[in-house]
Amino acid sequence: GAVVSQHPSRVICKSGTSVKIECRSLDFQATTMFWYRQFPKQSLMLMATSNEGSKATYEQGVEKDKFLINHASLTLSTLTVTSAHPEDSSFYICSAPGQGDQPQHFGDGTRLSIL
Amino acid sequence: AQSVTQLGSHVSVSEGALVLLRCNYSSSVPPYLFWYVQYPNQGLQLLLKYTTGATLVKGINGFEAEFKKSETSFHLTKPSAHMSDAAEYFCAVRGGTGGYQKVTFGTGTKLQVIP
């Protein structure tokens, strides 16, 4: 079945570093990708929706300049956390919509730890 | 508008006992409902889904859920718990057809299985 590949699975870096997370759709094209953030012991919160060929749509309260999203092709969406700080430490998950009535396909997530 | 309420952030059952995880939803349109399982530091895996048709849906690993429109519920059950079922479970709702519709997740229920 359809698979979404997310990389890297874990990142540990110093405060002030920018971190890029990639999300690829394997064997299918995704004109839309969803980016979620999950704090410990909490649910997934939608951050933004990336759209191939156009600007991403951000949810209320999400800083566009902080979380840069680029949907470079029909199989690749990236999330860049710019000048990351400890409060940005979280679990980030991407997903691609399923075809028709099918559910979303989730990546395995990226654990981001900012020291 | 749509929302999901999962009753009980933690549920403990003995190995071999019945598993019951509760989910209630609200949706302004006929909902599509999902249950996902998440293991530590991993993405979400689909257990089962309800779109239309039969209200009792069977999923993977012996789980099933029943859509009850009158009660706006979609509770997840499994007759006999295994140790491997210990994980976090999320109920989710999507407002109708179209994979591009946003999905709203519940706050999750952590299932503990006691030997």
Size of interface A-B (CB pairs under 8 A): 57
**CA A77 – CA B44 distance, rounded (Å):** 18
Taking residues A73-98, report their average pLDDT.
93
Residue B10 pLDDT exceeds 70 = yes
Residue A54 pLDDT exceeds 90 = no
A97 neighbors A30 (Cβ within 8 angstroms): yes
Put simply, whether A1 touches B (Cβ < 8 Å) is no
Token duo for residue A24: 């690829």
**CA A35 – CA A46 distance, rounded (Å):** 6
Q: Give A6's pLDDT tier (boundaries 50, 70, 90).
A: very high
CA distance readout (Å), B105 to A53, A112, B33: 28, 21, 10
In the prediction, which pLDDT does B96 show? 59
Give the β-pairing of B109-114 and B10-14.
parallel
In the prediction, which pLDDT does A62 show? 95
Tens digit of each residue's pLDDT (9 = 90 or more) over B62-105: 999 999 999 999 999 999 999 999 999 999 998 755 556 778 89
Residue B1 pLDDT exceeds 80 = no
Residue A23 pLDDT exceeds 90 = yes
Q: How far is B18 from chain A (nearest CA, A)?
A: 24
Strand partners, A111: A10, A91
Taking residues B35-51, report their average pLDDT.
89
Put simply, whether A89 touches B (Cβ < 8 Å) is no
Residues B71, B11, B9, B46, CA torsion sign: negative
Contact A109 B43 (CB under 8 A): yes
